[in-house]
Amino acid sequence: MKVSKEVSERIRGYVDDHTDEMLRFWETLVNIDSGPDADDGVNRVAHIIGEALEDAGMSVRFVDSNGAGDMLVAESKLSNGKPPMLFTGHMDTVFKKGTSEKNPFRIGEDGKAHGPGVLDMKGGLTIAIFAIKALMDAGFDARPIKCVFAPDEEVLHSHSDVKDLMSKEAEGALAAFNFETGFMDDSFVVGRKGGGPVSLKVHGISAHSGNAPEKGRSAILEAANKVVELESRNQIERGKLINCGKIQGGIGSNTIPGECSIDIAIRYPNSEIREEILEDLNKAAEKNTVPNTWAELDTHNIVLNMETTDGVKALMEHISGTADAIGYGKTGSCVVGGLSDSGIIVAAGVPTVCGMGVQGEGNHTPDEYAVVDSLFRRCWLAACAVYSLEDDFQDQYQNA
């Protein structure tokens, strides 16, 4: 269903009438430190967003993440039995406490906004909240809307249960928009690599290298063998990466080292290669070249890749069609290497398009910026795309 001109103009009119409010909301979020050392700041952001969504008529709950700030879940009170449209994102940034005071939100004469997390992804959160408000103002009642906003995406949910919690909350949704960083060329993300940090700790037997070298079993030597084996499994042309980036072990040259750790980063484009990498890691951990050594493998920080499923392709086509219909302009799609929670959502069976947030560049740096006008344009597009999504969307791509 194409969005009508009347509805498109109503939504655009709402956005145009609330630009100052959107900017103030964006500024408030950016000026709250919500980095990896600021769970209190993440929770402040969550409650500000929660209040805004309650004002829009949604029910809000804060879910204990078991290790990080609270995960925010909001649901519209519409109960027509239809699967909801899902909005996802994260409320944390990479910046430490005190950054917002040194680098506060501000807009330059060039129409670019600056500040920690202005692009990644407090601009996207602002778009999501006001797209919902614009939909409510336009009388949208085709299906419920649900929001799931994570507290710790930037640290890959390494100390929480958010990956499992988010997956459960996503189940059964019709489709999802993830409001991560938008690209300057107006392309949206339909695929992402998976990966993340892996730890391999090797245990040997310490001994004095001069007095009793025969009693020792070198953990460093065993780790070196494992590094050579793992690096030999790389197939960069297939997108398969096992990078042994850091190795630490031993206490000095006169001691046979009893322990050694390897910090590894992996990347993969699809589930097939993910399983290959996991098999490679497990084999390397289990196989010992140096007798009486053993290893511990920790893969719990790995983030799922975002598969480009038929549903993802169909949702992207819908967004592009909506953009053409309302006069937004041409859009494109891309597959990128950066990780996001979109992989979790797609793995839960929900077609997802990522990169729906504000456009800009410089993620994770002091020079991060966002294009202010894209805050309003993308809010308009997201709301119109939700409004015009058909009830039989799943049937359309499953029967294609």
Q: What is the pLDDT of residues 33-54, one digit of tens each?
A: 999 999 999 999 999 999 999 9
Distance, CA of 316 to CA of 322 (rounded, Å): 10
Please state the domain count of the chain: 2
Q: Are strands 106-107 and 85-90 parallel, antiparallel or unpaired?
A: unpaired
Say if residue 95 is in the same domain as residue 236. Answer: no
Our CA dihedral for 200, 203, 204, 209, rounded to 10 degrees, sits at 80
Q: Is the same domain home to 376 and 227?
A: no
Structure confidence at residue 391 (pLDDT): 78
Say what the pLDDT of residue 335 is.
94
Shared-domain flag, residues 49 and 159? yes
Asked, as a colleague might, if the bond just before 91 is cis with ω within 30 of 0, I would say no
Mean pLDDT of the chain: 96
Can you give the CATH number for the domain in which 54 is found? 3.40.630.10
Does one domain contain both 52 and 182? yes
Same domain as 328, residue 181: yes
For residues 208 and 334, membership in a common domain is answered with no
The answer on 225 and 183 residing in a single domain is no
pLDDT for 27: 98
> Among candidates 69, 67, 8, which has minimal Cα distance to 41?
69
Q: Out of 298, 324, 345, pick the residue that ends a domain.
A: 298
> 185-228: per-residue pLDDT in tens?
999 999 999 999 999 999 999 999 999 999 999 999 999 999 99
Tokens of 219: 């953990």
- Write the CB contacts of 321 (distance below 8 Å, at least 6 apart in sequence): 2
Same domain, 175 and 75: yes
pLDDT at residue 394, rounded to an integer = 77
Are both 236 and 206 inside the same structural domain?
yes
Residue 293 has which token pair? 């050594």
- Rounded Cα distance, 25 and 69, in Å: 20
Rounded to whole angstroms, how far apart are CA atoms 201 and 342?
30
289 and 241 within one domain: yes
- What single string gives the DSSP state of each residue in 324-354? HHHT----EEEEESS--THHHHHHTT--EEB
CATH number for position 283? 3.30.70.360
Structure confidence at residue 122 (pLDDT): 98
**What was the pLDDT predicted at 1?**
61
At 251, give phi and psi (nearest 5°). Answer: -120, -10
User: Global pTM?
Assistant: 0.92
Give CA–CA dist 193/235, Å, rounded.
15
Residues 121 and 213 in one domain: no
Domain endpoint, select from 298, 323, 356: 298
HSE, side-chain direction, 13 A CA sphere, residue 3: 33
The list of the chain residues with pLDDT below 50 reads none
Instruction: Spell 96-107 as b/e; 16+ CB within 10 A means b.
Output: eeebbeebebeb
| Integer Cα distance of 38 and 32 in angstroms | 9
**Which residue among 298, 332, 364 closes a domain?**
298
- Domain with 270, as residue range(s), is 194-298
User: Is 62 found in the same domain as 132?
Assistant: yes
The confidence score (pLDDT) of residue 3 equals 82
